[in-house]
Amino acid sequence: MPVYEYTALDAKGKNTTGIIDAESAPMARQKLRTQRIFPVSIDEVQDLVKQKNRETPGMVLGFYRVKQREVAAMTRQLATLIGAGFPLVSAIDALVPQTSSKAFKPILAQIKDAIVEGNSFAAALSNYSGVFSSLYINMVRAGESSGTLEIVLEQLADISEKQQALKSKIRAAMTYPILMACVGILVLFLLITFIVPNITSIFDDMHQVLPLPTILLISVSEFFKNYWWGILVLFVLLWFGFRSFEKTEKGRHVVDGIKLKLPLFGPVFRKLAVARFSRTLGSLLENSVTLLTSLEIVRNIAGNTQIAMAIDHAASEVSKGQGLGVSLAVSTAFPQLSLQMIQVGEQSGELENMLLKIATMYENEVEERVLSLTSLLEPVMILILGVVLGFVVLSICLPIFEMNQLVM
């Protein structure tokens, strides 16, 4: 059924906007009038979603994008409504007008229409795989099959909210050091490129041998003054070159391998990927999704090709009858403690619970590690900036001190 976006006047004469589904534009107008809403303009929403959902990992409609926090909020609200006794179609219909996202509204309306036409909820969601991940769709399918859709939606909301909360904490912890680094680099660039040349120009008339630090500072300053635009162009080209290389299969593999081997941040990337793997796999197994199907799903959302390759190999070995912990141990991508906990979970028959414990443990460790690293980065950056500024001041002052000694 087509979806229309309208601008109208309500019973009090105030402007209102929204979307509505109807067989045609005249029927949409009639439907609005029965709700005491008087349309001024009404336009059919083009189904751009179906054109893009297999290309974009976050649906874009015009200039609007469906964000994962919006999906998480919708999931929580839908679980609450279903738990309160609302039928699925009525629950989705109630959420459509409450959704503020201009991209998400038509998607929800079209999902509702697909369910009314006889499709399952999971089948309707699968038409929008750019918005709903394979994890989301498969868990909903399992919930529908077992009659526990409300519980599954609650778990999906928990997973999304925990991931968003962890990302927000990491982003908040990194904001100040990154901002400080950018400001410091900008100040040093302006100082060396535009201010230092004006100060060091007084040494041109001295006709004496300058100290080595001063000569070095003048050379660096002249280089930046004459070629600062070339440096900026070089950085831009390097950035775009790196991004292009990272998008290739080989480039992604190389970059992901380097991430896991970084001295300070490598363990953070590794534990974050393992936490995502463990929480997702544990949630899928809790909802009666088979282990092989679950491994195929988590392989696609691991976020690191090294981890994904280890999962792919483990899936192959599990299909031959091997245990999950033993299969993952072949690779060095997983920490030893996580492998031991998985093996204990398999032996005790509590693999799902053990995976969720691994996820919680590593999420807490990642949060603590990021906080400790950011607290360490701040004094390190201050020290580096202090050393550079000290070198600049020393290079300028040394010739002046020598001039005073000559005069005396």
Angle at 299 (CA atoms; ends 356, 168), nearest 5 degrees: 55
pLDDT at 388 over 50: yes
pLDDT at 321 over 50: yes
List beta partners, residue 42. Answer: 6
| Domain assignment of residue 208, yes or no | yes
| Domain assignment of residue 170, yes or no | yes
pLDDT at 236 over 90: yes
Do residue 181 and residue 318 come from a single domain?
yes
Residue linked to tokens 């928990």:
158
Q: What CA–CA distances, in Å, run from 19 to 27, 61, 77?
A: 13, 14, 19
pTM over 0.75: no
pLDDT in tens, 50-104: 444 434 444 444 445 778 788 888 888 988 888 888 888 888 888 887 777 777 8
| Domain assignment of residue 308, yes or no | yes
Of the candidates 295, 345, 330, the residue with the CA atom closest to the CA atom of residue 315: 295
The CATH number of the domain where 334 resides is what? 1.20.81.30
The pLDDT value given to residue 50? 44
Angle at 155 (CA atoms; ends 151, 158), nearest 5 degrees: 140
Quick check: 105 and 94 in contact, CB under 8 A?
A: no
CA atoms of 247 and 273, how far apart (whole Å): 19
Do residue 171 and residue 36 come from a single domain?
no
| Domain assignment of residue 316, yes or no | yes
| Domain assignment of residue 359, yes or no | yes
The pLDDT value given to residue 354? 93
- DSSP characters over 297-358: HHHHTSS-HHHHHHHHHHHHHHHTT--HHHHHHTSSSS-HHHHHHHHHHHHHT-HHHHHHHH
| Domain assignment of residue 124, yes or no | no
pLDDT in tens, 132-168: 877 788 778 877 877 778 888 887 888 788 778 877 8
The pLDDT value given to residue 238? 93
Do residue 346 and residue 213 come from a single domain?
yes
Do residue 349 and residue 217 come from a single domain?
yes
Of 54-58, 182-186, 369-373, 384-388, minimum mean pLDDT range: 54-58
pLDDT, mean over the chain: 81
Question: For the chain, first and last CA: distance in Å?
Answer: 94
Q: Which domain holds residue 22?
A: 1-45
| Domain assignment of residue 339, yes or no | yes
Of the candidates 344, 340, 262, the residue with the CA atom closest to the CA atom of residue 306: 262
Domain count, the chain: 2
pLDDT in tens, 326-335: 898 888 888 8
| Domain assignment of residue 244, yes or no | yes
- What's the DSSP call for residue 38? E
H or E stretch including 216? Answer: helix 212-247
Do residue 178 and residue 31 come from a single domain?
no
